[in-house]
Amino acid sequence: MGTLILLLAAILAGECGPIQGDCRLEVARTMANRYVQAGDWGSVTDAYYGRGEPTPADLSLAAMLVTAPTTLADERHYYCYSNEDRRTQGWRYGDLVLCDSGYCIHFTHDWPGG
């Protein structure tokens, strides 16, 4: 379980980059939603490419994800992607967009590419 917590924390840190607070919680919610839907962490972690150096807050949030994913699942957003991915892939803007220091993450319920 410790390895999974470290992996999820690294994903939270990498996906959000310089965006603090709400971004990490929203990415954790997308992970929880995907986990509840898929039933396994492998398919969830394979969907996220960002990796970063986790903070203590990332580790705490990741521990909550592993031990109680349904407390974070809200069925709102299943996908998150960077502004760069949005531009290069031709994806639409997210239903929720969080930005800081020129970096933006988009969140959406439905696949953004179609």
Span 14-49, pLDDT tens digits:
999 899 879 999 999 999 999 999 999 999 999 998
Mean per-residue pLDDT of the chain: 94
Domain with 82, as residue range(s), is 2-108
* 3-class DSSP state of 19: coil
Lowest mean pLDDT of 21-25, 54-58, 61-65, 76-80, name the range: 21-25
β-sheet bridge partners, residue 107:
80, 96
Q: Is position 32 within any domain?
A: yes
Q: Is position 113 within any domain?
A: no
Q: Is position 114 within any domain?
A: no
Number of independent structural domains in the chain: 1
Give residue 113's region: left, alpha or beta (phi > 0; psi -120 to 50): alpha
Q: Is position 90 within any domain?
A: yes
Counting residues of the chain whose pLDDT is more than 90, the rounded percentage is 91
Answer yes or no: is pLDDT of 1 > 80: no
Q: Is position 15 within any domain?
A: yes
